[in-house]
Chains A and B, each alone.
Chain A
Amino acid sequence: MPLSKQDIDHIARLARLEVAPQEKGDYAEKLSQIIELVEQLGAIDTTGVVPMAHPLDMVQRLRPDSVTETDQRDYLQQNARDTENALYIVPKVIE
Chain B
Amino acid sequence: MSWEVVIGLEIHAQLATKSKIFSGASTAFGAQPNAQACLVDLGYPGVLPVLNEQAVAMAVKFGVAVGAEITRRSVFARKNYFYPDLPKGYQISQFELPIVGNGQLTIKLEDGTEKVVGITRAHLEEDAGKSLHDIFSDRTGIDLNRAGTPLLEIVSEPDMRSAAEAVTYMRKIHQIVRYLGVCDGSMQEGSFRCDANVSVRPMGQEELGTRTELKNINSFRFVERAINFEIQRQIDLIEDGGTVTQETRLYDPDKDETRSMRSKEEANDYRYFPDPDLLPVVIDDDFIAAIKAELPELPAAKTIRFAESFGLKSAQIETLVGDVDMAAYFEQVVGEGADPRLAANYVLGDLTAALNKDSLEIAVSKISAVDMAGLIKRVMDNTISGKIAKEVFEAMWSGEGSADAVIESRGLKQITDTGAIEAAVDQAIADNPQQVAEFKGGKEKVLGFFVGKVMQLTQGKANPGQVNKLLRDKLSA
**Interface residues of A, Cβ cutoff 8 Å to B:** 10, 13-14, 16, 51, 53-54, 56, 58-69, 71-73, 76-77, 82, 84-95
Question: For the complex, is B133 an interface residue (Cβ under 8 Å from A)?
Answer: yes
User: Which residues in B have their C-beta under 8 angstroms from that of A64?
Assistant: 53-54
In the bound assembly, the distance between CA atoms of A90 and B140 in angstroms comes to 5
- Contacts A67-B26, A73-B34 hold; do A88 and B17 have CB atoms under 8 A apart? no
Contact of A73 among B37, B267, B269, B281 (CB under 8 A): B37
Verify B38–A72 contact, CB threshold 8 A. yes
25 contacts between A and B (CB under 8 A): A54-B278, A54-B279, A54-B280, A59-B279, A60-B278, A60-B281, A60-B282, A61-B279, A62-B52, A62-B56, A62-B281, A63-B50, A65-B18, A65-B52, A67-B24, A69-B36, A76-B34, A76-B37, A76-B39, A82-B139, A86-B32, A87-B135, A87-B142, A90-B142, A93-B83
The reply to whether B278 and A93 form a contact with Cβ atoms under 8 Å apart is no
- B interface, over-half SS: loop
Contact in complex: A14, B269 (CB < 8 Å): yes
Which residues of chain B from 7 to 53 have any CB-CB distance to chain A below 8 Å in the complex? 17-19, 23-26, 32-39, 42, 50-53
Asked if A84 and B38 sit within 8 Å, CB to CB, the answer is no
Closest to A59 in B: B282
- Name the contact of B17 in the complex, choosing from A10, A16, A65 (C-beta under 8 A): A65
Which residue of chain B has its CB nearest to the CB of A62?
A: B53
**SS of A interface (majority):** loop
Q: A58-B279, A60-B282, A65-B54 are in contact. Are A85 and B33 (CB under 8 A)?
A: yes
Residue among B38, B261, B269 making CB contact with A95, cutoff 8 Å: B261
Picked from A53, A62, A89, the residue with its CB within 8 Å of the CB of B140 is A89
Kindly state the separation between the CA atoms of A16 and B42 in the bound complex, as whole angstroms: 19
CA distance in complex: A18, B37 (Å):
30
Task: Verify A71–B36 contact, CB threshold 8 A.
Answer: yes
Other-chain residue from B51, B141, B269 in contact with A89 (beta carbon distance below 8 A): B141
Contact assessment for B53 and A93 in the assembled complex, using a CB-CB cutoff below 8 Å? no
